[in-house]
Amino acid sequence: MDDLDFALKYPFSSEAKQIVQNIHLTDRVLELGAERIKKALRGESKARVVLNQEGKKEDIASFAAARMILGFMKNTFLTNKFAVNESKVVRSHLDKEDKKTVERVAARFDIFPENRNNTMLLDLPTYVRFSVRSPYYRLVNRKLTNGFVEINDNDLRRLVEEAVRKHTEDIPVVRDPPKQVKHIAERIIEELPKSETTINAKEGDHPPCILNLLESAKKHQNLNHSARWYLATYLNAIGMGEDAITGIYAQLPDFNEKTTRYQIKHLRRKGYNVPSCSTVMSYGLCVASCRTGNPVRWHKLSESRKKEILK
Ligand code: SF4
């Protein structure tokens, strides 16, 4: 793969930076940057197909343009959505690459896996820096050898995906951009989904682990699969309606209304129970020692305490 095609797939690479240096942020490039952000809003993680050299260069520059627009907008929701979407696009490329190319992308984030006796090892600090919040990646579930963590090809791709997300959401503030950027920012604001839902949970309403997840949703941070699943079973069990639960999930950067509603209906139909505290602990989501055994029990005890006080 030549440098141009590599940069097209990986617009954060040093190859991309070199190419972008010689390109002006024209109106066309800024519009492509805006479209990149809007694609993230729509949850479209398919890469744009560009065939000619000029088009490829503009597409690479549109990544920098999008970051400039977001740096001016300072909108956490949009930035998180953009970062998640871009990392998913990169992941779809990585899944089709050979090992050498994956390692080339990984090197951009100082991820240097070592191969010893047919085993792939990654140094502990790098692993911790880019591993995701999920039981599978927790250190207690990993094989450690002399400060190195054993990983496989798929783990490496996932770690790089996370590194891309982190890098992409780390956008410097742009204070005084060109006029065109300001106009684009105004247009994007108009197109933002108007959510009626505000997450109004306060201490005493829900157990600390749930408050923690609601706080993350409020900040438009991504939640991993276990966290989403746990939160949905809990909200359903305490009697929250489908619309209200969907409204909370609408705050997440990769929200998809159809999928969310389908999953809520599915968990209701199947009658899934809320996991016990020890299971929540194994998900890495427990943040206190409430001694209630089950998060729903925590909620019920809290509700009856409130009723006692009002008597
Ligand atoms: S002990 Fe249970 S209710 Fe309390 S934070 Fe942990 S999982 Fe949640």
Distance 124 CA to ligand 1 centre (A): 28
Half-sphere exposure of 158 (CA within 13 A, CB side): 14
Dihedral of the alpha carbons of 213, 266, 87, 251, in degrees to the nearest 10:
-40
Q: Assess whether pLDDT exceeds 90 at residue 45.
A: no
pLDDT for residue 193:
64
Q: What is the mean pLDDT of residues 53-78?
A: 91
pLDDT digits (tens, 9 = 90+) for 271-303: 999 999 999 999 999 999 999 999 999 999 888
Nearest CA to ligand 1 atom 8: 209
Q: Is 290 in the pocket of ligand 1 (CB under 6 A)?
A: yes
Tokens describing residue 92: 């779809």
**Dist. CA 294 → ligand 1 center (Å):** 7
Kindly state if the Cβ of 32 falls inside 6 Å of ligand 1. no
Mean pLDDT of 3-30: 90
Distance, CA 261 to ligand 1 centroid (Å)? Answer: 26
Residue with tokens 């993680």: 45
The residue whose CA has the least distance to atom 3 of ligand 1 is: 295
Highest mean pLDDT among 129-143, 161-175, 179-193: 161-175
* Closest alpha carbon to 123 in 112, 109, 131, 136: 112
Both tokens of 193, joined, read: 């989904």
| Ligand 1 contact via 301 beta carbon (within 6 Å) | no
Q: Residue 172, by phi and psi: left (phi above 0), alpha (psi -120 to 50) or beta?
A: beta
Using the mean position of ligand 1's atoms as its centre, give its distance from the Cα of residue 79 in Å: 31
Query: Would you kindly state where each structural domain of the chain is located, as residue ranges?
Result: 3-88+179-191, 99-164, 208-310
295 pocket-lining for ligand 1 (C-beta < 6 Å):
yes
pLDDT of residue 311: 64
Q: Is the CB of 287 under 6 A from ligand 1?
A: yes
Residue 230 burial by Cβ neighbours in a 10 Å radius (0-12, 13-18, 19+): buried
Confidence (pTM): 0.70
Pick from 9, 77, 4, 68: which is nearest to 34 by CA?
A: 68
Q: Measured from the CB, is residue 280 less than 6 Å from ligand 1? A: yes
Ligand 1 nearest-atom number relative to CA 289: 1
The half-sphere exposure of 6 on its side-chain side, counting CA atoms within 13 A, is: 18
Q: And the tokens for 33?
A: 């940057």
Average pLDDT over every residue of 38-53: 80
Alpha helices of the chain — where are they, by DSSP H? 3-9, 14-21, 27-42, 53-73, 76-94, 99-107, 124-130, 153-169, 179-191, 208-218, 225-237, 242-249, 257-270, 277-282, 295-310
Is residue 83 in contact with ligand 1, taking CB distance under 6 Å? no
Return the residue whose CA atom lies nearest to atom 6 of ligand 1.
286
17 CB-side CA count, 13 A: 4
Asked if the model's pLDDT at residue 195 lies above 60, the reply is no
From CA 76, how far away is CA 74, in angstroms rounded? 6
**Ligand 1 probe mutation, 287, 299, 301, 302, most atoms within 8 A of CB:** 287
Is the pLDDT reported for residue 254 higher than 80? Answer: no
Residues 6 or more apart whose CB falls under 8 angstroms from that of 206 comprise: 214, 234, 238, 295, 298, 299, 302
CA of 223 to the centre of ligand 1 (A): 17
Strand partners, 123: 148
**Up-side HSE of residue 23: CA atoms within 13 Å toward CB?**
24
State if residue 113 touches ligand 1 by the CB under 6 angstroms criterion.
no
Contact criterion met (CB below 8 Å) for 206 and 214: yes
